[in-house]
Structure 1
Amino acid sequence: MDVIGDLVARDRRSDDLAVRTDSRAGSYSYEKCCTNAWKTGNILRHYGVRGGATVAVDPGDSLTPPPLLALLGAGLLGATTRFDPGESPSAKALVVPAARADAYDPDPGTKTFVYGDVPDDPEFAHFEAEMWSENPTAPPDRVDPADTALAAGDREFTHERLLSASEGIVDEYGLAADDEVAVRAPLADPGTVVAGVLAPVAAGATVLVDRESTGTVAVASGDAAENAPEPAVVDPADVL
């Protein structure tokens, strides 16, 4: 795999679980994950996101699939995802939970997508509604492994570096299809993105976003790492 889009290539579709939430209805098979990542890429593309653009994402207090789809969709376009948007993000698109939509003052020209509840402001797009109505095919954009895929603070990470690091996690922890990787650290830490999202998807394992359930591996630090119920723990600080 050379770019993030390869994680959701057509031949990766299956009935295996890619993302597990607290309900089967809200969980994603690899079939659903790939298709919805393509749709998300097409939504963002429709609103002007291209290679080199930034997609700012607020992953919320309780992680759900939309922020992960934003990462994958932006990756399909060669855009950069930022999970630490700040109050006034400079981005082509902003993806935020409905409860926090009014907390942001983005630059003019930024399209705000709200996920969860339907937005009150007609200027905001409802992420889920837009996604379901989109074309379920992969965007045609060409992405280079040397393109920036993720930014955090003043650091930038290319597709190549992120996937190389994720392969290291897969090898070190022996991740396989029957593993569930519990995300117990913020996505604002790029190590969490690598170990908690990219690595399990690369391995065909499951990203566990239901923090009340127990996986086989946790991505956590500090007290969360000490209290994690999983038998193995990855510290995001050690990943990149």
Structure 2
Amino acid sequence: MNAGTVDDLLTRELRDERIGLVDATGREYDYHWLCTTSWKAGNFLRHSGVREGVTVGVVGDGPLALLAFLGTTLLEGTTRFEPPTDLADDDEFRALVAPVDALERYDLPRGAQRVGYGDKPDAPDVHHFDAGLWSENPSFPPLSIDPETAILTDGERTVSHGQVLEAARGVVDDADLAADDRVVVRAPLSDHRTVVAGVIAPLLARGVTVLSGDEDEREGERGTYAVSSASAESVPEPNRIDLDAVSL
């Protein structure tokens, strides 16, 4: 696919009934849902001040965490998966998206917003991500994102849309990743390479991202490829995309 930035992987013409995401319970989501709900996530997070130049912390590894990342990406924001709990001195930090029961663990800078998912939050200043997604506008304005725009950070290194797509194309080519291939994420999303190989590369190939969560050992073989480090334990998938081989 000819994509200059990650938002090009979520455009209106790419919406169809092909499966694009599977969660840890085995529930399947098609590309129509993935694109449209990513737009909703972006529209919702915009209300929390997410925009270019700010960082959004995302806690968790399920579909809602992935939607928070994609919504942030559409707004030209930068995602930091699994951020530390002490963020008070990070002036660029704008919002934290996390399970409701985890939000209180984090010390955020003044003005940063807390966005909870899962249970309905009791605190009036906490936005409910689940409810916001379903009530938001299912469309998104046209984008023109510079490939040099930051997309991911781990607090030490920040990578751009262009770098992520270049690395993802390398994964697609090296693994011969094809449409409908299932890529099981068996490494933390806090590693940029996991996002590249387990999320962006399948989007490029029109494949399927499978989020293993805590049930990976009980599910057996669920995909064509597993994204993990070579030093990790054996995986049930017939092929491994080794994180050490991801050029980022």
TM-score (norm 1): 0.92
Matching of residues 89-168 of structure 1 within 5 Å: 89=87, 90=90, 91-168=93-170
CA spacing shift, 1:110–1:237, aligned 2, 3 Å: farther
SS of residue matched to 2:51: coil
Q: Counterparts of 1:227 and 1:86 in 2: how far apart (Å)?
A: 29
Identify the residue that residue 221 of structure 1 maps to in structure 2: 229
Confirm or deny: 8 A CA contact 1:78 1:147 kept in the other structure. yes
CA spacing shift, 1:178–1:141, aligned 2, 3 Å: closer
Identify the residue that residue 48 of structure 2 maps to in structure 1: 47
- Alignment counterpart, residue 76 of structure 1, candidates 61, 65, 74: 74
Matching of residues 179-194 of structure 1 within 5 Å: 179-194=181-196
Confirm or deny: 8 A CA contact 2:182 2:208 kept in the other structure. yes
Amino acid across the alignment from 1:221: S
TM-score (norm 2): 0.89
Identify the residue that residue 233 of structure 1 maps to in structure 2: 240
5+ residue gaps, structure 2: none
Q: Counterparts of 1:237 and 1:193 in 2: how far apart (Å)?
A: 13
CA spacing shift, 1:102–1:5, aligned 2, 3 Å: same
Confirm or deny: 8 A CA contact 1:19 1:28 kept in the other structure. yes
Q: Counterparts of 1:27 and 1:125 in 2: how far apart (Å)?
A: 26
Identify the residue that residue 59 of structure 2 maps to in structure 1: 58
Q: Counterparts of 1:218 and 1:4 in 2: how far apart (Å)?
A: 22
Amino acid across the alignment from 1:136: P
Q: Counterparts of 2:166 and 2:36 in 1: how far apart (Å)?
A: 24
CA spacing shift, 1:231–1:11, aligned 2, 3 Å: same
Confirm or deny: 8 A CA contact 1:78 1:141 kept in the other structure. no
Structure 1 residue 22: Cα displacement: 4.2
SS of residue matched to 2:114: strand
SS of residue matched to 2:233: helix
CA RMSD of aligned residues (A): 1.6
Q: Counterparts of 2:141 and 2:84 in 1: how far apart (Å)?
A: 28
5+ residue gaps, structure 1: none
Q: Counterparts of 2:109 and 2:203 in 1: how far apart (Å)?
A: 33
Confirm or deny: 8 A CA contact 1:195 1:234 kept in the other structure. yes
